[in-house]
Amino acid sequence: QVRLQESGPGLVRPSQTLHLTCSVSGGSITSGDYYWTWIRQNPGKGLEWIGFVYHNGNTFYNPSLRSRTTISIDTSKNQFSLTLTSATAGDTAAYFCARELGGALAGTIDYWGQGTLVSVSS
Amino acid sequence: SSDLTQDPAVSVALGQTVRITCQGDSLGAYDASWYQQKPGQAPVLVMFGQNNRPSGIPDRFSGSSSGKTAALTITGAQAEDEADYYCNSRALRNTHLFFGGGTKLTVL
């Protein structure tokens, strides 16, 4: 059973950098069958895709967040991370890491982390 | 903004059938997937591909699609099905992953 677990600060000051890590267990992050993905959900709102990293380090980001976003992968630790710079109150959200299937089922997210709430406030 | 459009809210009487729809141009290259989210919890995959249920999802959930519209049908809705439902789709390989705005399902 694959498990994903987010970790990182629950409070970030405005203009500072938000950094979260996702630890993956029960499966290898080096598999080429998946995209390792970050998704967020503003309070009371819908889901917003942030971007993904592939096992070889290739990335693709939501155009609306691309200029502030970096997603990286650490295969030695079976982890991947999210960095979001210049945080504002609008970045206050529950952040989920997830595994997206590739190939013909691209877009399907079969495993999700439990989510971590990040507040951006002074 | 979302390329995928869902009705914000739908209600169904206990034991009756409800259809939740998702429309958008990105429903082309890949089939839609559907997720159930209850308050304070992470979303759970309930339908993917043409009509595939992950292990543990009751067979009262089914999926369908036609052109630019995908649908999730619950046949014989139960109280525990009350939740928010989201569709998503990837338009093309290595492109934006779209989510619908979500449908709040109330079981009366």
Q: For A63-81, write each residue's pLDDT tens digit.
A: 999 999 999 999 999 999 9
Name the band, by pLDDT with cuts 50, 70 and 90, for residue B87: very high
For position B46, what pLDDT does the model report? 98
Q: Which of residues 3-32 of B touch A (CB under 8 A)?
A: 30-32
Nearest by CB: B45 against A49, A60, A109: A109
Q: Is the pLDDT of residue B2 over 70?
A: no
Comparing A71-85, B28-42, B71-85, B89-103, the range with the smallest average pLDDT is: B89-103
Nearest to A49 among B35, B94, B97 (CB): B97
Q: Rounded to 5 degrees, what angle do the CA atoms B51, B52, B53 make?
A: 125
> Which among A49, A105, A108 has the least Cβ separation from residue B99?
A49
Per-residue confidence (pLDDT) for residue A102, from 0 to 100 = 86
> Could you tell me what percent of chain A has a pLDDT over 90?
93
Question: How far apart are alpha carbons B67 and B69 in whole angstroms?
Answer: 6
Any idea what the Cα angle at residue A105 is, between residues B62 and B41, rounded to 5°? 65
Q: Is the pLDDT of residue A62 over 80?
A: yes
pLDDT-wise least confident of A7-16, B4-13, B44-53, B88-97: B88-97
CB contact, 8 Å: B45 with chain A? yes
Confidence of residue B102 (pLDDT cuts 50, 70, 90): very high
- Is B86 or B30 the better-scoring residue by pLDDT? B86
Which residue of chain A comes nearest to B27, CA vs CA? Answer: A107
Q: What's the confidence (pLDDT) of residue B94?
A: 59
DSSP assignment letter at A113: -
Say if residue B1's pLDDT is above 60.
no
B86 interfaces chain A, CB cutoff of 8 Å? yes
Contact B96 A48 (CB under 8 A): no
pLDDT, greater one: B95 or B54: B54
Q: Please provide the average confidence, as pLDDT, over all residues in chain B.
A: 92
Q: Is B43 on the interface with A (CB under 8 A)?
A: yes
d(CA A56, CA A75): 9
**A-chain residues near B94 (CB < 8 A):** 60
Residue B36 touches partner A, C-beta closer than 8 Å: no
pLDDT at B29: 73
Centroid of chain to Cα B56: 16
Which tokens go with A54?
């592939």
